Amino acid sequence: MSALVEARGLAAGYGGRPAIHDVTFAAGAGRTVAVLGPNGGGKTTLFRALVGELAPLAGSVRVAGRPAYVAQTERTRLDFPVSALDVAAMGALARSPWWLPVRGADRSAAAEALQRVGLEAEARTRFGALSGGQRQRVLLARALVQEAEVLILDEPFAGVDPASAERMDTLFAELRSEGRAIVVATHDVAAARDFDRVLCLNDRQVAFGEPARTLSRRVLEATYESEIVVLEEDDGPVRAVAVQHHEH
């Protein structure tokens, strides 16, 4: 099975200096990968390299088609006058010529995508007026319109209300069964156990593999260094809680 997204010996960074190095992983159709690591450890750098925003300083990156990238919503412009429908329709830019105005077919696809994420009622609402969870779902709707084979999501559940989170979980399961590859950066070590693979990143790649075998105490401590609290249980499985730092 050929991978939809893979990196080999990837190093990437800014101004000629690598922020991450020796990253090697692959994900095929219907596979989900959780990327774990501390803030500043390189998750966003990796995603920028996957999306093509950063050229690799070493190694290679290969992604099938144009990946859908859902960055943290704080990176979007909240005062820009666009509605939820407009944002979803932006996904069509990956499939149709950029110099033409939005076509009817693209608009229907956007409406359908909003329905799929449960936001058809907010289609005309200004994006900045939506809650955090709703904004995240609109960006997912954009990813759906894009019809990308690979989805790359940077902490999609951060600050999201439980109802939105549940909807997003359902959506991920659907996308998975449709054969898409999903790469998700997350701080939730417990949730990472439900993914097909985990990639532990802290400037360099600490580990990549199935969660059950990879998420050992040693790996987690190497990934998060002082930012992790590891709770050992008597009957074996290690539970770990990552300490989140809030950026000011």
User: Footprint of another protein on this chain (CB under 8 A)?
Assistant: 15-16, 48, 51-53, 66-71, 75-83, 86-87, 90-91, 93-94, 98-99, 101-102, 121, 125-131, 133-134, 139, 142, 146, 148, 152, 161, 163-164, 248
Q: Which is nearer to another protein, 39 or 76 (CB)?
A: 76
Q: Which is nearer to another protein, 159 or 209 (CB)?
A: 159
Smallest gap from Cβ 244 to another protein, in A, equals 20
Q: Which is nearer to another protein, 74 or 178 (CB)?
A: 74
Smallest gap from Cβ 4 to another protein, in A, equals 14
Q: Which is nearer to another protein, 81 or 236 (CB)?
A: 81
Q: Which is nearer to another protein, 51 or 58 (CB)?
A: 51
Smallest gap from Cβ 26 to another protein, in A, equals 19
SS (H, E, C) the chain: CCCCEEEEEEEEEECCEEEEEEEEEEECCCCEEEEECCCCCCHHHHHHHHHCCCCCCEEEEEECCCCEEECCHHHCCCCCCCEHHHHHHHHHHHCCCCCCCCCHHHHHHHHHHHHHCCCHHHCCCEHHHCCHHHHHHHHHHHHHHHCCCEEEEECCCCCCCHHHHHHHHHHHHHHHHCCCEEEEECCCHHHHCCCCEEEEEECEEEEEECHHHHCCHHHHHHHHHHHEEEEECCCCCEEEEECCCCCC
Smallest gap from Cβ 206 to another protein, in A, equals 25
